Amino acid sequence: MHDLLLEKVRARSVEFKTLLPTKDDAGQYVTGLLALLFARSHGVGQDRSAAWLDELAASQKALTTLLEPFAHGQAAALSEKFYTTELPQIYDVLWQDAEAAYAGDPAAQNLQEVVLAYPGFFGVAVYRIAHYFHSLGIATLPRLFSEHAHEKTGIDIHPAAKIGRSFFMDHGTGIVIGGTSVIADNVKIYQGVTLGALSVDKSLATTKRHPTIEEGVVIYAGATILGGATVIGKNSVIGGNTWIVESVAPYSVVYNKSSVRVRPSREVTTEIDFSI
């Protein structure tokens, strides 16, 4: 009854040499890990320490399972190293990201709100985990992590991008950060910002295609910055809806100048045509 579909799937099944995790599997793991580090960390050091350590061990076991199809027999060792050596460092960096968000957003009431509710914090937290495993050459799994965050927040950060400390994405929706982007410390970007490439030719896959953002830069909503040779100098401010394909000197302010015309009262009922 399903012979035709069976034959087509069999022909393509060489792409999947073993049982692989789904994006939902990866998302469940990374969401659970972040909950353990933050929302479920109450009482650690007091009466909940033993229970928390049991949950951490279960999380480590779940990571080992996720890694097994990609790690060539090294899944348990990689998981052990991540939890004992790398995760404590990532945890410290995530608190720096949270503190940058709290300091940079007048609407933030406390750090608790940032780490539990802000999509920008969730996006950068998942990125930092995905980036670590990407740096090890682990295939596919880092993208499953990052695409889970993309799906949940609308923030698209390639796990290969290099992002410094105290990074804050305000609102977050629609932010795109390409895989060869380099972002220094203390950078703040708003919704709808694209750090993209001038060309998507496959032959350029191993070249730097995305911009470099130096320390202390603020990039406002809707700005588009393109090109691997494009550098936004330190402490610059990039205004909303700007289009940048060339480098900007440090301490620059780049903005679009809007035109304002006050209409005579007789024109108030005239319909304005914004067609382009």
The three-state DSSP-derived secondary structure of 177-209 is: ECCCCEECCCCEEECCCEEECCCCCHHHCCCCC
Q: How confident is the model at residue 256 (pLDDT cuts 50, 70, 90)?
A: confident
**For residue 212, what are the CA distances in angstroms to 9, 121, 146, 205, 245?**
42, 21, 20, 17, 12
Average pLDDT along the chain: 93
- How does pLDDT run across 215-245, given as a tens digit for each residue? 999 999 999 999 999 999 999 999 999 999 9
Burial class (CB in 10 A: 0-12, 13-18, 19+), 272: exposed
Q: Is the pLDDT of residue 273 over 70?
A: no
Amino acid identity, residue 129?
Answer: I
- How does pLDDT run across 72-112, given as a tens digit for each residue? 899 999 999 999 999 999 999 999 999 999 999 999 999 99
Q: How confident is the model at residue 271 (pLDDT cuts 50, 70, 90)?
A: low
- How does pLDDT run across 164-197, given as a tens digit for each residue? 999 999 999 999 999 999 999 999 999 999 999 9
Superfamily of structural domain 174-254: Hexapeptide repeat proteins (2.160.10.10)
Q: Is the pLDDT of residue 155 over 60?
A: yes
Give the C-alpha separation, 159 to 66, whole Å. 17
Sorted by where each begins, the domain ranges of the chain are 22-154, 174-254
256: closest CA among 275, 243, 273, 237? Answer: 243
| pLDDT the model gives residue 63 | 98
Percent helix, percent strand, percent coil in the chain, to nearest 5: 45, 10, 45
Distance of CA 241 to the CA centre of its chain: 21
| CATH dotted code for 22-154 | 1.10.3130.10
157: closest CA among 182, 138, 139? Answer: 182
Amino acid identity, residue 135?
Answer: S
Residue written as tokens 């302010």? 253
Q: Is the pLDDT of residue 54 over 60?
A: yes
Region 153-158 average pLDDT: 98
67: closest CA among 76, 58, 56, 80? Answer: 76
Give the C-alpha separation, 223 to 237, whole Å. 11
Largest CA distance in the chain: 78
- What is the side-by-side order of every strand in the sheet holding 212-213? 162-163, 182-183, 212-213, 231-232
pTM over 0.85: yes
The torsion angles phi and psi of 266, rounded to 5 degrees, stand at -70, -15
Q: How confident is the model at residue 130 (pLDDT cuts 50, 70, 90)?
A: very high
| pLDDT the model gives residue 272 | 59
Phi-psi region of 270 (alpha: psi -120 to 50; beta: other; left: phi over 0): beta
| pLDDT the model gives residue 263 | 78
Q: Is the pLDDT of residue 276 over 60?
A: no
| pLDDT the model gives residue 268 | 65
Q: Is the pLDDT of residue 135 over 80?
A: yes
Amino acid identity, residue 223?
Answer: A
How many other CB atoms sit within 10 Å of the CB of residue 252?
A: 15
Residue written as tokens 């957003």? 105
| pLDDT the model gives residue 46 | 75
User: 2-11, 38-47, 109-118, 231-240: lowest mean pLDDT where?
Assistant: 38-47
Q: How confident is the model at residue 43 (pLDDT cuts 50, 70, 90)?
A: confident
Asked if 32 and 62 count as a contact pair (C-beta separation under 8 A), the reply is yes
Phi-psi region of 154 (alpha: psi -120 to 50; beta: other; left: phi over 0): left
